[in-house]
Amino acid sequence: MKLTSEQLAQLTKLQQKELDAAFLYRRLSELAKTDAERSALKKIAADEARHAAIASKYTGAKLSPGKNLAFIGGSVARVIGLRRTMRLLAKAENSAADTLAPMCEFCPEVREIIEDETAHGRTLGELAK
């Protein structure tokens, strides 16, 4: 199936967001105080990188993670604390399904990404308690 320019743009945007998120979660794992936090954040980072690779199969684009999100996220975590930052990220992960659902029509693997994002939201919510 050939993608429209709009679909390609959506997947490219997804790919970039997932790369940025992977970089952010790796950065946050460096700030974690417990092994459980560090391990969970590294797993989420790996999942996000895998999501970017899925999108890349469709886009063919070779993108690099933006460092701004990781810098801002790390700074926020230092100011308000990692747990509060994880609460904010949990909300973002949980809301991803609404944004991603329409892409399932032309990229069936997005269903897997949605499931992972929902799981990330639960994990981050649990860690933030």
pLDDT per residue rounded down to tens, the chain (129 residues):
689 999 999 999 999 999 999 999 999 999 999 999 999 999 999 999 999 999 999 999 999 999 898 889 889 999 999 999 999 999 999 999 899 999 999 999 999 999 999 999 999 999 998
User: What is the C-alpha separation between 129 and 124, in angstroms, rounded?
Assistant: 9
pLDDT for 117 equals 97
Quick one: the chain helix, strand, coil %, rounded to 5? 85, 0, 15
Radius of gyration, CA atoms only, the chain = 15
Q: Are 91 and 4 in contact (CB under 8 A)?
A: no
* Span between the terminal Cα atoms of the chain, in Å: 44
Q: For residue 103, give the H/E element and its range.
A: none
Taking the model in full, what pTM does it have? 0.94
pLDDT for 78 equals 92
